[in-house]
Structure 1
Amino acid sequence: MTLRRDQRLWAEHLRVGDDLWFIAHEDRTGRPRVSQVALDCGMAGALLGELVLSRNIQVREGRIHVLTGKLPDDQTTLEILENILAEPHHDLRTWLSYLSQTAAAVVTERLVRAGMLEPQETRRFFKTVIVHRPSDQEGAFWRSGRLEAALAGSRGQTTWGEIYLGGLLEAIGLLQVDLWDDAAAIAAFVAGVIAKADPSLREITTTVHSLIGEAVLKIRH
């Protein structure tokens, strides 16, 4: 891969869902680092968070409110916004539960279209399955290191997108599995800043964490 192509694909800031995909998957195999339930809920939260960060929606007391302004330039989030507009009576939990059914696949397809993921056939348990691996393993690995530097305060000013991404990683359990050397300090920093963030972002991360916990309890019982 040439440097020019690397610069085009691996921008300094990716969409929250795209960065979450790379950090939540092993860069060599493309396999998830967390359970499918946690991944699905986290991806749903990422897509709604993208709409918050682009100022297309806000969340207040469990309800989603659409804001007037410029429409998203991403087809994936535009379709979600149109669905919310068509069915405004659903609350945040309902939308997260609904989006979690397809969010991981939707973000995967978005990354395939962007040339950042490549579908590959592999044999598992006597059958052929499709797995998605980063087109550039070094670029995928860099996403985690870049976010770690941002949340540790060693790479300029931290953006709300990076802080929200850290909050989602905490919600799905990735900061608790030693993703980074100083994960505990980063988790404490994220928790402190998220508490002062846009209430919409706080509500989404809290609800994502709650939905994962409820799903785990159902599986155990």
Structure 2
Amino acid sequence: MPSTTLPPTGWPLLADDLFRLAHHDTTGRPLLHSTVAGLGLAAALLAELALTDTIVVEHDQVFVIRHAPPGDALAHTVLDQLVGEQTAHTVRTWLAFLSQTSYDEVASRLLRSGHVRAEASRRLLIKTTIYVPTDANVAAWPWARLSTRLRNGQPLNGFDTVLAGLTLAADLHRHVVDGIPGNVITGLRQLVAKAPPSMRLLLHHTEAAVGDAVLTGH
């Protein structure tokens, strides 16, 4: 199957693939708590900017180093938010802020691209929206790609290394690597630890933020 991570603009859609991993590939049922999903997707949106050398993370703070408008509309919005602040903020501050809207914004990007359709769902008198994949093969591709490469001991490219790191940070890796020996997980953590400094810091703070959210129940 061809890669679904890059649109015609060439933008690395990390958040789209993480969204796919965080949902059942046919029903669209969420696999993560909404708070954790929001933090993971917020990190993925920042990672898209880091991968394209638009931002760097230094001393636990996010700095914009390139102001050229991204080809992706959502990335452009996130960059505008970063640029709009007079002073640099910490990764944790940006994760908390972006996580408030990241789920809906990434879902909207997938809706616009035709990869999901929105369906209303009602449970215990609470109305929610489920984003059902329009093509189960496309929805399952990130999982199949990571799982196959990890099982076979194949190297991961830069994009998939970050994606795998995001699954670790969001505690989603158990779904991706179900049944894979523990030494593979250890190797994956070692691989992520060799990622560029900005990405390592971003993933570290994301995992810490997720851990705090789980502990506090928020």
TM-score (norm 1): 0.86
Alpha carbons of structure 1 residues 50 and 12: separation in structure 2 relative to 1, 3 Å:
closer
What's the C-alpha RMSD, in Å, of the aligned pairs? 2.3
> Which SS does the other structure have where 2:217 is aligned?
helix
Task: Name 2:170's counterpart in structure 1.
Answer: 172
Structure 2 segments unaligned to the other structure (5+ residues)? 7-11
Q: Distance in 1 between matches of 2:215 and 2:126?
A: 31
Report SS of the residue matched to 2:88.
Answer: coil
Residues 191-216 of structure 1 deviation map (CA, whole Å, 9 limit, x = unaligned)? 11121111111111111111111122
One-letter identity of the residue aligned with 2:147: E
Q: Measure the CA separation in 2 of the matches of 1:50 and 1:98.
A: 17
Alpha-carbon contact 1:17-1:43 (below 8 Å) kept: yes
Between the aligned partners of 1:77 and 1:22, the Cα distance in structure 2 is 18
Alignment-derived partner of residue 9 in structure 2: none
**CA 1:180–1:217 in structure 2 vs 1: closer, same or farther (change >3 Å)?**
closer
Shift of 1:177: 5.0
> What amino acid maps onto 2:191 in structure 1?
V
Identity %: 30
CA pair 194-179 structure 1, distance change in 2 beyond 3 A: closer
Per the alignment, residue 94 of structure 1 pairs with 93
Q: Which residue of 1 aligns with 2:144?
A: 145
2:58 matches 1:60:
yes
Describe the shift of the 1:123–1:69 C-alpha distance in structure 2 as closer, same or farther (beyond 3 A). closer
- How has the CA–CA distance of structure 1 residues 148 and 59 changed in structure 2, closer, same or farther, with 3 Å as cutoff? same
Q: Secondary structure at the match of 2:53?
A: coil
**What per-residue deviation string (whole Å, max 9, x for no partner) do you get for residues 102-140 of structure 1?**
111111000000000101123322455321100011221
Query: Structure 1's 128 and 70: CA in aligned 2 closer, same or farther, altered over 3 A?
Result: closer
- 8 Å contact from structure 1 (residues 42, 168) kept in 2: yes
Contact 2:166 2:203 survives alignment (8 Å): yes
Q: Alpha-carbon deviation of 1:151?
A: 3.9
* Distance in 1, Cα, partners of 2:55 & 2:112: 25
Structure 2 counterpart of 1:210: 208
Conserved? CA contact 2:5–2:17, under 8 Å = no
Matched residue count: 212
Q: TM-score, normalised by structure 2?
A: 0.87
